[in-house]
Structure 1
Amino acid sequence: MDRSGSNNQPLGQRGQGRMAALDADKQRSAGGRGGRGGRGRGRGGGRGRGRGGNRGPRRTSPGTTTSAEKRRKTQKLEEIKKEMESLGLEVGDPHLESKADPGEVGEKIRVLTNVYGIKMEEKTVYRYDITISAVPKKKGPARIEFTKRTKDDCVVVDRRDFCRVAFDFFFEKEKAVFGDNRYTLYYDLQSILYTLFQLSFEGKDEQKFQLNKEECERHKLLQDFNRVEVVFAFTRLLI
C-alpha cells in the first residue's frame, strides 16, 4: 500500500523535508538579523539595527580637520625643538638677504609731488560743535537735523550739500561773528568747525542763528523749509 501524503512524498522522505524546512527557517532567521559591523555578533543587517554593516567612513568637518592639522604641526615643531636642544643647537632667527642698492641702468626723471611736510608757525585752533536743523513747510517731521549721522551714502551726500549751503548763508549774514576771511574757518560739512580765532558769542560758549522763510527762498535747497537754525557750541582749544 502506497502511504504517501497529500504531496505524494514517501513517508521516509517527509521527515527529511521537514528538517530541511526547519534548517532553511533558521538560516533565514540568522540572515535576517544580519551582522553588526565588525563585532561579529550577527545583529544588524536585515532589521536595520546594524551599526556598521554598510555604513561608509565617518565624515569630519573642515574645522575639525584644520584643528587637527594645527595640532599636528605644533607637535612636530615641539619635537624638532627638543631634538635640536638635545644636540646642543639653538633655534636662531632667519637670515634675510640684504637690500640691493638702487639700479643705475634706467633713465633718471624728475618727479614733482605735493606730498610733503609743511612747517607752520604755532597757532591756536578753536573747535566748535555745530547742529544744523530745519523746519519743513510740508506735513511730516516737525524738524529735520541735517548734522545727524547716518550710514546711508545718498543721505550723507544730500545732508552735506544742505549744510554747505546753510553755512555759507550764515557766514555771509553774520560777518560780526565769522569775520571776512573764509579761509580762517574749516568746516567738515557735518558737525565740526575749526577756526583760527575765537568766535564772538557775547561772552557765551553757545550761540544760535536762524534763517527765516524769506531767506530760505533765496536758494533752491532751502526753499522747502520755513526756518533753518544753526547752533554753535565751543568745545575746546587745540594748540
Structure 2
Amino acid sequence: MAAEDELSILHQERTRLTSPEDIRKFLQHGEETSIWSHLQSFADSCDEVLTGNGFPHAMQTVQVLSDDSWEPVPKIPKDELKAWLKALTFPYKTELGFVYTSRKTRDFSDAWYAAQIGKLCREVMHHQENGKSNSDFIFEAIYRIGSLKTDWEWRRNQKPNVLRGITTKKGASSGGEAAARQGARKINETLSVMRKLVDSGMTISNAATTAYKKGKGKSSVANRQLWYRHRRKL
C-alpha cells in the first residue's frame, strides 16, 4: 500500500511503456522535446505548492531538527567544510524533501502529490541529462507522473463533493433510524394504554377511542387497526 484516505487505498504497481511515442501521447504533446520543458515546469510548480504548504522542495536535502521540524542544509564552501563539520551537533539527521513531506503530511493532500510528482519529474530530468532518455525508468516514471497528476486533479475537484455526499447519506441513515425508534416508542405507548383499558373491561373499540382522546395514536380507527395488527404480541 502506498497511501490511503477516506476515498481509497493506493497500491503502486510497476508499469512499462514501450516507446517515446507512448510518452508523447500520454502527455499530449506533439514534439518529444516539449516533454522535458513540460516536466521542468511541472516540477517547479510542485515545488511552489510545497513551499506554500511549509514543506521543502521535493529533492531538497534538509536537516530534521529535534522537534521534527526542518531547515535547509546550507551550502558550505569547500574550504569551510571541515570547520562546519567540526561544529555540528550530533545526531545530525537529514532527509530529502519528498521523504520529509510524505512522512509529515496527509496521504493525497496537495503537498503529498507535489512531493511525489516533483521527485519523479526531477529524477526523469536527471536521467535525460545523463543521456538515458530511452531508459525503462523514464517510461515508467512518466506514466506514474501522468497517473498522479490525473488523480490529483480529480481529487481537488471531486473529493469535497464525494465526502459531502457520504456525510449526507450517513446523516439520512441516522435520521431514519432515529425516526424509526421514535415511531416504535409511540406504538408501544399506545398499545400499553389500550392494554390497561381492555384489562379493565373496556371493549377494544372504546379503548381505541379513549387512547386517542388521551393523545395516543393517530385516530381511534388507526388505534384499533394497530391493536389487531399486534394482538398476538399482546
Shared fold by TM > 0.5?
no
Which of the five TM-score ranges fits, normalised by the shorter chain? Answer: under 0.3
TM-score of the superposition, structure 2-length normalised? 0.20
Compute the TM-score of the two structures, normalised by the length of structure 1. 0.20
Q: Specify which structure has the higher proportion of strand.
A: 1
**Which entry has the higher C-alpha Rg, 1 or 2?**
1
